[in-house]
Amino acid sequence: MNPITNTDYVTILPELVLAAFGLIVMLVEPFVTKGGSRKPLGYLACLGALASLAATWYQAGSPYTQGFFKMVLVDHFSVFFHVVIALVLFVALLGSLDYVERQHIRAGEFYALMLFGAVGMDLMSSATELVLIFIALEISSISTYILAGMRRRVAISAEASLKYFLLGSFATGFFLYGVSLMFGATGTTSILAIGPQLHAGGFNPLVFAAVALMFVGLGFKIASAPFHVWTPDVYEGAPAPVVAFMSTAPKAAAFAVLLRVLFAAWTPGWFWPVWISAALSMTLGNIGALRQTNIKRMLAYSSIAHAGYLLVAFAASKAADTAGISAAIFYTAAYAAMNVGAFLVISHLAGEGERFVAIDDYAGLSRRQPAVAASLALLLLSLIGIPATGGFFAKFYVFSAALQANLVGLTILGLINSGIAAYYYLRVIVVMYMREHPAEHEHGHGAERITIPEGVALTLSVLATLYLGIMPNRVLQLAIEAAKDLLR
Amino acid sequence: MTTNLHLWLIPLLPLAGAALNGLLGRGLSKRAVAIIGVGFPGAAFAWALVVASRFVALPFERIPYTEYILPWIAAGSFQANIAFYLDQLSLVMLLVVTGVGLLIHVYSVGYMEHEGGYYRFFAYLNLFMFFMLMLILADNYLLMFVGWEGVGLASYLLIGFFFLKQSAANAGKKAFIVNRVGDFGFLLGMFLLIRHFDSLNFADVFKAVSHYPVETAGAGLLTAISLLLMVGATGKSAQLPLYVWLPDAMEGPTPVSALIHAATMVTAGIYMIARSNPLFSRSPIALTVVAVIGCLTAIFAATIGMTQTDIKRVLAYSTISQLGYMFMACGVAAYSAGIFHLMTHAFFKALLFLCAGSVIHALSGEQDMRRMGGLRKQIPWTFWTMTAGTFAIAGFPPLAGFFSKDEILWKAWSTTALRSVAGPALNYTLWTLALLTAGLTSFYMFRLWFLTFFGEFRGGSADAHGHGDAHASHSPHESPGIMLGPLVLLAILSVFGGWAGVPHALGGSNRFDQFLAPVIQSSSEAMSAGQRAGEPQPEAAEEHAERNAELALTAASVGVAAIGFGFAWLFYFKRRDLPARVTAVLGGIYDTVRDKYYVDELYHALFVRPIVGISNFFWRDIDVGVIDATVNGAAHASQDVSDSLRRMQSGNIRSYAGWIATGAALVIVYMIWLGAR
């Protein structure tokens, strides 16, 4: 057996960097936080996110490198997701600096867990070995379970964490069972070895059951119907910046795994489950969001709907061409950009103890904080899918690919759904711009201006959304490269 | 020498104006805001004139002129760029939009003076101009769609301009949602174009389409694409069944109604169909649908227009009705007639709206015509300009509306483009309904005219309605010069603008039609390749007969305009007791029309309520964890742990796990079945 070389370590360099920073944050905490501000820890974590970005940049210099006995693969695909995760992590960390202070959250654990979670997510997108994927999934999941309960003294936060943990473990069980069946059927857990075997045909029918189980497990992670039921409660209870993070980065990673499992491994039979899950997610997500009065719950349902749009792109990739896959990859980036920003606005406005998370609390925001209101309006327009925003092109590619693949029904259903969705996003804009600020909130609420880190984070998210909407080509080309590498 | 038209300047100038006012306007004086807000669109108009003068000098083979700006997106072989496309059609639109737009901007300087958020208003208005010009100049459907959505967004911002009026907020929302239905069609149409032609560029698509035969035998690909695009157009151009947003959009300030909801944005659908004429002309079925929708919309909206009492609502329904004419013109493959009417309509309808604004301004916010009357003495400029607009829309020769409307009526009568779908009976039906609409138009416009300007003043003190607090409860007063200037210019255009297209039958040469001919050419080629093949060229005698027929039809349409005038005169000037008696006789029918045929209520029952019902079902019965916002706040404040615990013990987790398990079971059973097959 070959010894482990430097090249091997390079393939997990971003993960190593993140883990190292996580450890440093934990070690430094006792020295930093005595009485003073815990923000330096946060900045350290931000630095970690940037360092992992730099490490990914370094990796991108030599794409398609395998490491650790072919368990890890650095290609355009993994690089794309690493960048998305690192950026989301950076923005979410910036956005949590003040939140952590305000809500009296244990800073050391908080930042370290964000970093550790990102280690798992990064590894999910570069692992090509099902067992390693499982471990990465667990690293990511366990971190987010704890993060969801970080507002320890608040009942619904604890409740969210517990629910997420119980149901998440349940779902992970499915995934693991699927992996073992896959091993039983093919004699290997390496996706790169499974792929050719399944592609050649004549395989053990057990594979179908394995795919089903893995799909259920991953369906939970991406919050697609009917495995979405946990989402509203968990998003409502979890701290807002954590939701900003966990509604985007782990989801992107889970989509990466799903892409690998379905397409790189040439697994069969998934088309109708994906089709139905896409249709259900879009419909249930949007209808569920219509009547919500709590903006976190509303965006939770919205994220279910977006998982549905993304699955449309999966369904559209049945010919194993790059159109659908690259559309899905592009969508994860666009969705991450807009959603992380939207949740950061919520986190900024929530106030101490997250008291202000009803949509009505946003009344008159355009007058109190015009820049924040305008940013949120733009992000919501992007979630609707209005041109000149990332959300438009994301949907455009997805549905264009879907129609190319003859998915007429799903395309029509998706477009109807995005019409319905306009209604509830718009309601927030209407409340912000056209409703008077209620007098009883005069004191305290929304009085505090946005801080510099929050402002930077929000600006980044808005700029990314606009960039993807106005100049989508570069990211699209990268997504196409990623899709090509995935199918290689 | 290669001429460079620098088309990019035209949209960019208003965008710069919007950015300046939007970012810095708060700190600027009103004067500076107005100079920026008018100056940049003014510069755009000036440049459009330069472009026009250079365009006519371009050699034939350089038209359509395209200007490549930036690469935009490429996926596989599909590519769309940020590029501009100028041909005769976009040039006409360009001049209309920048010209009329500029006049309305100038007018707004006076009209909006007493409103708050002056800078914001001009920023939005300029932003609208930017998107509208992108829509017009786009060289592909995707870029057009960006403009298309952008104008919708700007319109949304401007309708809701009176922010704190709940009705305005609702109207903006309604416009947005209804237009999403239209976008649904537009997007699907685009996806089909990508799928079959791998391109959204006008030039590529139309070239590819030119190899397709006319779909006379039945509906095919081009019919599907055309119908889908048409759905988009019905949304933006307020046609049946998606017109419902436009009357409500009148909640916006009057200059906005004039610019967006009369002269420019709502005509985008007509422009899009005319632009796509190579597609539509190859699908007689789609054309027929367009013609029928347009015709029905025209008469439907005209009947409602007769019963409205709000001056802006009358004009709103009138706009829908006139857009119906344009739609019908496109439907009978008379695209240039449609665009001609689009242009003249932009003149006189902008004029009418601005005059109405001037009346409203004079009466300090009164919009109900029942509380007007006798105003011709107090506001003579407004009266005379409005008179020009009224006669123009009613179709009295030789004003603008006469020529363009007559052209449409004649084409509806004489076209053979729909022959493969329906016989001449369709032509006659379309023509008859259109003629009837012309009569109704004349009637409701003169009704407005008589009610507003003649008789006794019926308004009391007008201060109950607080438009612009500066002039509460004065006697009616004329508007300032900055508002009257645009009125006079538009009045001149409304009188003479039709002379660009005097038909042959009246001794003209229809220069407008000839100017647009190259754009429409490919479709007439299609036609000649299709059903016209083998048809003999008209003999001189036939030509003579045709000319006589056209003259007879013209006489008929002038006749109904006169009849409409006569009835209005009788009802609202001579015998003012008649309207009440007639409505009493009509009873329920009248109420139905006045209440707009209860279409809003119908849509509410058909679409809104079921969706809300389903959502409620989920909200109450499925979304178990939901808590009311107020309760939520309370729970946070007191952090009532026991309450939360109770909720948790209510079996949430078990029911959630149950959901997941059920879903999992279904997937697994299906997959095992698949594997065992």
- Give yes or no for residue B354 having a pLDDT over 50: yes
Residues in A closer than 8 angstroms to B675, CB to CB, are 205-209, 269
Give the dihedral sign, CA A71/A76/A81/A84.
positive
Q: Do A399 and B191 touch (CB under 8 A)?
A: yes
Q: In terms of domains, do B131 and B280 share one?
A: no
How distant is the Cα of A153 from the closest Cα of chain B, in angstroms?
A: 8
Q: In terms of domains, do B154 and B192 share one?
A: no
Q: Do A155 and B675 touch (CB under 8 A)?
A: no
| Mean pLDDT, range A395-413, rounded to an integer | 90
| Mean pLDDT, range A380-396, rounded to an integer | 91
Continuous segment of H or E residues that includes residue B70: strand B65-75
How distant is the Cα of A298 from the closest Cα of chain B, in angstroms?
A: 11
Q: What is the pLDDT of residue B59?
A: 82
Distance CA B104, CA B94 (A): 15
Q: Do B635 and A418 touch (CB under 8 A)?
A: no
Distance of CA B182 to the CA centre of its chain: 12
**Would an 8 Å CB–CB cutoff place A319 in contact with chain B?**
no
Domain-located, residue B354: no
Q: In terms of domains, do B292 and B397 share one?
A: yes
Q: Do A404 and B180 touch (CB under 8 A)?
A: no
Q: Do B668 and A216 touch (CB under 8 A)?
A: yes
A 193-252 residues with CB < 8 A to B: 205-209, 211-213, 215-216, 219-220, 225-227, 229-230, 232-233, 236
- State the helix-helix crossing angle for B221-236 and B141-159, rounded to 10 degrees: 20
Q: In terms of domains, do B85 and B195 share one?
A: no
Q: Which two tokens stand for residue A473?
A: 């080509």
Q: In terms of domains, do B656 and B552 share one?
A: no
How many CB atoms within 10 Å of residue A455? 18
Chain A residue with minimal CA distance to B143? A387
- Give yes or no for residue B533 having a pLDDT over 50: no
- Among A240-254, A361-375, B401-415, name the most confident range: A240-254
**3 state DSSP class of A37:** coil
Q: First CA to last CA across chain A, in angstroms?
A: 26
Distance CA B632, CA A294 (A): 9
Residues in A closer than 8 angstroms to B613, CB to CB, are none
Residue B623: which pLDDT band, with cuts at 50, 70 and 90?
low
Residues in A closer than 8 angstroms to B672, CB to CB, are 205, 208-209, 212
Q: Name which of A138-147, B45-54, B448-457 the model is least confident about.
A: B448-457
How distant is the Cα of A76 from the closest Cα of chain B, in angstroms?
A: 17
Q: What is the 3-state secondary structure (H, E, C) of A308-348?
A: HHHHHHHHCCCCCCHHHHHHHHHHHHHHHHHHHHHHHHHHH
Q: Pick from A145, A172, A208, A231 the residue to mutate for testing the B interface (most B CBs within 10 Å).
A: A208
- Give yes or no for residue A350 having a pLDDT over 70: yes
For residue A127, the cross-strand partners are A72
A 328-357 residues with CB < 8 A to B: 353-355, 357
User: Rounded to whole angstroms, what are the CA distances from A242 to A107, A350, A460, A462, B345?
Assistant: 13, 13, 17, 19, 55
Distance CA B218, CA A170 (A): 55
Report how many domains make up chain B. 3
Q: In terms of domains, do B132 and B192 share one?
A: no
Q: In terms of domains, do B400 and B453 share one?
A: yes
Q: What is the pLDDT of residue B128?
A: 92
B323 vs A101, residue with greater confidence = B323
**Would an 8 Å CB–CB cutoff place A488 in contact with chain B?**
no
Q: What is the pLDDT of residue A447?
A: 53
* B108: nearest Cα among B480, B521, B561: B480
Q: In terms of domains, do B74 and B184 share one?
A: no
Domain-located, residue B449: yes
Q: In terms of domains, do B585 and B609 share one?
A: no
| Domain-terminating residue out of B592, B614, B630 | B592
Q: What is the pLDDT of residue A15?
A: 95
A105 vs A274, residue with greater confidence = A274
B137-192 per-position pLDDT tens digit: 999 999 999 999 888 888 888 877 666 677 777 788 888 888 888 888 999 999 99
Residue B215: which pLDDT band, with cuts at 50, 70 and 90?
confident
B604 vs B471, residue with greater confidence = B604
Q: Do B76 and A322 touch (CB under 8 A)?
A: yes
Q: Do B671 and A212 touch (CB under 8 A)?
A: yes
Q: Do B194 and A213 touch (CB under 8 A)?
A: no
Q: B506 CB contacts (<8 Å, ≥6 apart)? A: B551, B554
Are A219 and A314 a contacting pair, CB within 8 Å?
A: no
- State the helix-helix crossing angle for A322-349 and A370-384, rounded to 10 degrees: 150
A326-345 per-position pLDDT tens digit: 999 999 999 999 999 999 99
Q: Pick from A221, A291, A475 the residue to mutate for testing the B interface (most B CBs within 10 Å).
A: A291
Number of CB pairs, chain A paired with chain B, less than 8 A apart: 218
Residues in A closer than 8 angstroms to B629, CB to CB, are 293-294, 358-360
Residue A308: which pLDDT band, with cuts at 50, 70 and 90?
very high
User: Rounded to whole angstroms, what are the CA distances from A82 to A57, A252, A322, B158?
Assistant: 9, 10, 20, 42
A 134-193 residues with CB < 8 A to B: 153-156, 159, 162-163, 166-167, 170-171, 174
Q: In terms of domains, do B28 and B52 share one?
A: yes
Distance CA B258, CA B268 (A): 15
| Mean pLDDT, range A166-191, rounded to an integer | 92
A71-91 per-position pLDDT tens digit: 999 999 999 999 999 999 999
Q: In terms of domains, do B424 and B468 share one?
A: yes
Q: Which of A229, A472, A477 sits opposite B660 (nearest CB)?
A: A229
Residues of chain A with pLDDT > 70, as a percent, come to 96
Distance CA B409, CA A209 (A): 67
Q: In terms of domains, do B232 and B150 share one?
A: no
Residues of chain B with pLDDT > 90, as a percent, come to 28
Task: Report how many helices (DSSP H) and strands (DSSP E) chain A contains, helices first.
Answer: 21, 2
Q: Name which of A292-296, B310-314, B574-578 the model is least confident about.
A: B574-578
Place of tokens 């597609």: B279
Residue B471: which pLDDT band, with cuts at 50, 70 and 90?
very low
B18-72 per-position pLDDT tens digit: 999 888 888 888 888 899 999 999 999 999 999 999 888 888 777 788 888 888 8
Q: Which two tokens stand for residue A348?
A: 């900024």
- Give yes or no for residue B230 having a pLDDT over 90: yes
Residue B390: which pLDDT band, with cuts at 50, 70 and 90?
very high
- Output the average pLDDT for chain A: 89
Q: Which of A230, A354, A397 sits opposite B75 (nearest CB)?
A: A397
Range of B604's domain? 599-676
Residue A463: which pLDDT band, with cuts at 50, 70 and 90?
very high
User: Rounded to whole angstroms, what are the CA distances from A78 to A484, B99, B239?
Assistant: 12, 53, 49
How distant is the Cα of B228 from the closest Cα of chain A, in angstroms?
A: 12
Continuous segment of H or E residues that includes residue B81: strand B78-86
Q: What is the pLDDT of residue B634?
A: 41
How distant is the Cα of A174 from the closest Cα of chain B, in angstroms?
A: 9
Domain-located, residue B141: yes
Q: Do B633 and A358 touch (CB under 8 A)?
A: yes
Q: Do A386 and B645 touch (CB under 8 A)?
A: no
Q: What is the pLDDT of residue B544?
A: 78
Q: Do A209 and B73 touch (CB under 8 A)?
A: no
Q: Give one word for B198, left, alpha or beta, with left for phi > 0 and alpha for psi -120 to 50.
A: left
